[in-house]
């Protein structure tokens, strides 16, 4: 529909919602970020990747173990990873 958003990023203010980092629904329009994770590009790319249908890139039970791309480990800073 005209004027509708295709993606919504919801940022929960620091200190309001516990120790979780972020989550997103697969093939969906919503991603949610806790505390400062809304400002970290690595976390944003990871969660939007889920919105676009991507799974984690790690193997077996270590789903976050892959640090070669954005669908593995997310970095808690705005300028990483350096590739």
* pLDDT recorded at residue 13: 92
- Contact predicate 38/6, CB 8 Å: no
* pLDDT recorded at residue 52: 95
Output helix, strand, coil percentages for the chain, rounded to the nearest 5. Answer: 20, 20, 65
What is the C-alpha end-to-end distance of the chain, expressed in Å?
39
- Local structure of residue 70 (DSSP, 8 states): T
pLDDT tens digits, the chain, 83 residues: what are they?
Answer: 566 788 999 999 988 888 899 999 999 999 999 998 988 888 899 999 999 999 998 888 888 888 778 888 877 766 666 66
φ, ψ of residue 2 to 5 degrees: the values are: -60, 130
């Amino acid at each position: 529909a005209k004027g509708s958003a295709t993606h919504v990023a919801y940022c929960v203010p620091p200190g309001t919602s516990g120790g979780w980092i972020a989550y997103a629904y697969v093939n969906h329009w919503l991603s949610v970020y806790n505390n400062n994770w809304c400002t970290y590009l690595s976390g944003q790319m990871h969660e939007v990747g889920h919105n676009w249908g991507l799974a984690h890139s790690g193997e077996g039970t270590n789903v976050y173990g892959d640090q070669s791309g954005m669908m593995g480990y997310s970095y808690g800073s705005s300028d990483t990873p350096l590739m």
